Structure 1
């Protein structure tokens, strides 16, 4: 298991501050208003001042995993569109060993929605997702503009326990390193579970 991120290293803000914010906005598809980036995230809204502050405009408080993922995305996003294919974390470059030592914390979601596919879909739609006909319930979320995620629920029965797959477009690694993508997935799971 990985240790949670406890703080955001200021070097990420320094790296972002060295970049042209209009170029960052164009690459990431995140709005820049001349002073700060305006970041929609699963129905919430945040403002990031490149000099060093991420504030909540509406929604949930910021976790370190979320802040690191946002900063890494703004720094590293490329003008590459998703392919529309879906792979697991272990199928991404370097993901096999990473996924074994960093399993996604899915127990809360499975307890809440393992036998409730309709509730799973309803929550996904509340978070801005769109349904996809896969498994017993599938939701495509776009936590960041160039990073779609597909959550697929297989409900449990007497014979098998419920199962949840979190899938990524292969291009996601063009925008975020594997550990930041993992942090983003944790934040999505956290919000889906609440």
Structure 2
């Protein structure tokens, strides 16, 4: 499958080392224990092999085990390396718990204040710039993403709470710009994210969310 992203080979080079590291951890895991820890289904295909069923931004994927590969149900593989790293890290280290209904800002996430500048630049400012000047287009992107589980929010000039990964929901709020103020954005994470991902993961996750919505533009 070809891709039009000219930066992809560079990203792959940068991500090869962490992917190799987590692959080494991944293949040593008990897949049944992973499925229970992450609240996922595991389907065995033969002795010691199979795949986990994941739902990322509305699209269903199979994460192969013990050699990690990520493919949709049509058999197309995920080429975006940050998405692959996020998901293999979750399978190796994350835990799923039901949310208690609280939504956390990035600064309320453990170690969030340490990485906030990075998150602000990669996610909040980029989201504001990408969506804040055309709220109608933003609504079409969210509501038109196939399979995405979402609900519209009253907060912000346009806002949605949507499922990033099975049972893990993000709220993205956008305020439109005007003659005096530039557009702005806020991203909130359901409280169960603190068991599933680190603050560093969430900064990369914001990029994934923005890119997937922009692909629907």
Q: Distance in 1 between matches of 2:182 and 2:105?
A: 20
| TM superposition score normalised by structure 1 | 0.85
Structure 2 Cα separation of the partners of residues 50 and 185 of structure 1: 26
Counterparts in 2 of 1:174-185, with a 5 A limit?
174-185=195-206
Q: 1:130 aligns with which of 144, 147, 151?
A: 151
Question: Contact between 1:46 and 1:54, CA under 8 Å: does it hold in 2?
Answer: no
Partner residue of 1:85 out of 84, 102, 107: 102
Partner of 1:139: 160
Written as runs of structure 1 = structure 2, the 5 A alignment for 1:35-46 is: 35-46=50-61
Q: What is the aligned length?
A: 192
**d(CA) in 2 for partners of 1:139, 1:113:** 13
Which secondary structure does the structure 2 equivalent of 1:72 belong to? helix
**1:114·1:155 contact (CA, 8 Å) conserved in 2?**
yes
How far, CA to CA, are the matches of 1:40 and 1:139 in structure 2? 18
Unaligned runs of 5+ in 1: none
TM-aligned CA deviation for residue 104 of structure 1? 2.2
By how many angstroms is 1:79 displaced? Answer: 4.0
Answer with 1 or 2: which has the greater Rg. Answer: 2
Contact 2:58 2:163 in 1 (8 A): no
Q: 1:21 aligns with which of 6, 12, 31?
A: 31
What residue ranges of structure 2 are gaps of 5+ in the alignment?
Answer: 1-10, 45-49
Distance 2:214 2:68 in 1: 26
Cα distance in 1 between the residues matched to 2:103 and 2:20: 33
The 8 Å contact of residues 139 and 152 in structure 1, kept in 2 or not, is answered as yes
Indicate the RMSD between aligned Cα atoms, in angstroms: 2.4
CA contact (8 A) 1:43 1:126 kept: no
In the TM superposition, what whole-angstrom CA distance separates every residue of 1:16-59 from its partner, at most 9, and x where no partner exists? 22222122223323322111112221132322112223233257
The residue aligned with 1:156 is 177
